[in-house]
A = this chain, B = another copy of it.
Amino acid sequence: MKLTCRVRFESGFRRHILLLTLLTTLIGSCLTAVSCLDALADTQAKPTSQGEVLPTWREGKAKQSILDFVHAVTTPGPEFVKEEERIAVFDNDGTLWCESPFYPQLQFAIDRAKVLVVDKPSLAEIPSVAAAVKGDSQALVATGSKGAIELIGVTHCGMSTQQFDRIASQWIAGAKQPRFNRPYTECVYQPMIELLAYLRQNNFKTYIVSGGGVELMRTFSEKVYGIAPEQVIGSSCKLQFEMVNGKPVIMRLPEIHFIDDKDGKPVGIHEYIGRRPIAAFGNSDGDLAMLQYTCLSEPKKPSLGLIVHHTDAAREYAYDRDSSIGRLDKALDEAKTHGWTVVDMKNDWKKVFAFDGKP
């Protein structure tokens, strides 16, 4: 996911500039041409069944690199890695689920703004909220960093974590990806679901390390990916504990606490996991630092770096170096230099989604 980086290290002024960058990036992708396929059957992605290894991966270099790596680190010998050190980290947007034509989290903010304005019309006096409700991306960008903070504040904050969980869970249950007209939680990559399960079968601990908001991801990560809440690392706002009438409450404050993107990803990994992963999976320059940290820290030790390259306009989307979302440019060059696996979605995957080819 392409977000800002280093917000945590920056002064207020620089943070504002970076938030503007974030919003510009997010909104810039809103108007990307979206073609709609007919609705396909309602088939939830399923993990690999026992006995099959990565069944929707075509035989080839990409699949083989995964099999070779897992064999090496699980077989007694010079590359063997103890179970507790088998940490694998996955980006979410564009790596596990579809991030085009724009990030689901942005759609959540827009949908949420629309709901809130019905109950409280005065919110439309906030220019960024009004722009979001109208779907006017230019007006939204024009509201600048103040507008971005206000929109995030109105739609994501000023409520308890329990309230947010309820709102986000309801949204994720009902919202649909616009091209495929299916819940976002069905627009997950079946080959990656199989890969997660395959790694866990080999006693890897699988983590999400995403620029997305941690609390939105936790509403579906266990059900959809088999990844427990405590193995989801993401961006977060500041929180505050309070006792309200004798009841404990954690409030979400309208301030950024941590942006888990770009250089923030290895920082988040160190802070939350405290061990370096041996395998990292991403799809954009936002994942480069995580790939570098995983694969270049101790080059003589085994590691797997893998990039999902979006090459399939027919079944999903095709984008890389010039995309305003999920830009894959520098990381694609580095993959070549360091021998990381680059997955060609069109040719390496028999299916993209579990519903592919279904009526």
Contact = CB atoms under 8 A, between A and B. Distances in A.
Interface string A257-277: 100000111110011111100
Interface string A84-97: 10000000000000
Contact of A274 (B205, B230, B274, B292): B230
Given A257-B8, A297-B247, A297-B248, A229 B274 contact: yes
A209 B218 CA distance: 21
B239 A293 contact: no
A253 interface: yes
A246 B8 contact: no
B263 A241 contact: yes
A243 interface: yes
B8 A296 contact: no
Interface in A1-46: 6, 8-9
A308 interface: no
A228 interface: yes
Interface in A218-254: 218, 222, 228-230, 232, 236, 238-241, 243, 246-248, 250, 253
A130 to B, nearest CB: 30
Contact of A230 (B238, B243, B273): B273
B8 A271 contact: no
Contact of A240 (B267, B275, B293): B267
Given A6-B240, A246-B296, 12 more contacts: A84-B228, A161-B270, A214-B271, A215-B274, A229-B274, A229-B275, A230-B272, A230-B273, A232-B274, A239-B270, A241-B266, A250-B266
28 contacts: A6-B240, A8-B238, A9-B238, A9-B240, A84-B228, A214-B271, A214-B274, A215-B274, A218-B274, A229-B273, A230-B272, A230-B275, A232-B274, A239-B267, A239-B270, A239-B271, A240-B263, A241-B263, A241-B264, A241-B266, A246-B296, A247-B296, A247-B297, A248-B293, A250-B266, A250-B270, A250-B293, A257-B271
